[in-house]
């Protein structure tokens, strides 16, 4: 399997995060057009549902952008070697809650588009996995602080 050196991997992750944020901004501009196109593909669509779908889409985009900002800040902390700290743990906690919130928003969107239930499941599962990672980081931070006190 392709292994990227640690230094380049972190830089690549920062670039991907920045590109994703730019795509979120671009998506916000074109979201009404994208939403109308998706709605027009359905044969039957509930009356007045277009504004609800657009509101949900903007909420999803806002939460995704917020999670991306948290990821970017976390990557900057990793670059500074501040991994097992309360600040980094708080960032992972925030990202996990963003994923769970995305799952809830996609679940509501599932009323209009059934495929959204799949995205809801994936987002909640990712949020749960991040909660586990957060717990591991907390335990690592505790062990690190104990080791710092013994030296």
Answer for the pair 133, 92: CB distance below 8 angstroms, yes or no. yes
Domain ranges of the chain: 6-150
What SS3 string covers the chain? CCCCCHHHHHHHHHHHHHHHHHHHHHHHHHHHHHHHHHHHHCCCCCCCHHHHHHHHHHHHHHHHHHHHHHHHHHHHHHHCCCCCCHHHHHHHHHHHHHHHHHHHHHHHHCCCCCCHHHHHHHHHHHHHHHHHHHHHHHHHHHHHHHHHHHC
- Predicted confidence at residue 1, as pLDDT, reads 79
pLDDT of residue 40: 86
Is the model's pLDDT at 125 over the cut of 90? yes
The least confident of 2-11, 58-67, 81-90, 115-124 is: 2-11
Nearest CA among 82, 102, 62 for reference residue 10: 82
Task: Report the chain's mean pLDDT, rounded to a whole number.
Answer: 93
**Percent of the chain having pLDDT more than 90?**
77
pLDDT at 45: 80
How confident is the model at residue 87, as a pLDDT?
96
0.95 exceeded by pTM: no
pLDDT score of 65: 98
pLDDT of residue 151: 58
Q: pLDDT by residue (tens digit) across 24-49? A: 999 999 999 999 898 888 877 877 78
């Amino acid at each position: 399997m392709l292994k990227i050196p640690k230094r380049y991997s972190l830089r690549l992750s920062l670039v991907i995060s920045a590109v994703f944020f730019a795509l979120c901004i671009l998506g916000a501009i074109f979201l009404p057009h994208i939403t109308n196109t998706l709605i027009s593909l359905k044969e039957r669509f509930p009356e007045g549902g277009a504004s609800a779908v657009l509101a949900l889409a903007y909420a999803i985009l806002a939460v995704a952008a917020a999670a991306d900002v948290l990821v970017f800040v976390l990557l900057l902390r990793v670059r500074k070697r501040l991994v097992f700290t309360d600040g980094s743990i708080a960032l992972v906690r925030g990202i996990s809650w963003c994923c769970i919130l995305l799952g809830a928003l996609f679940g509501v969107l599932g009323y209009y588009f059934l495929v959204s239930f799949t995205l809801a499941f994936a987002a909640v599962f990712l949020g749960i996995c991040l909660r586990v990672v957060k717990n591991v980081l907390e335990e690592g931070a505790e062990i690190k602080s104990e080791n710092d006190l013994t030296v």
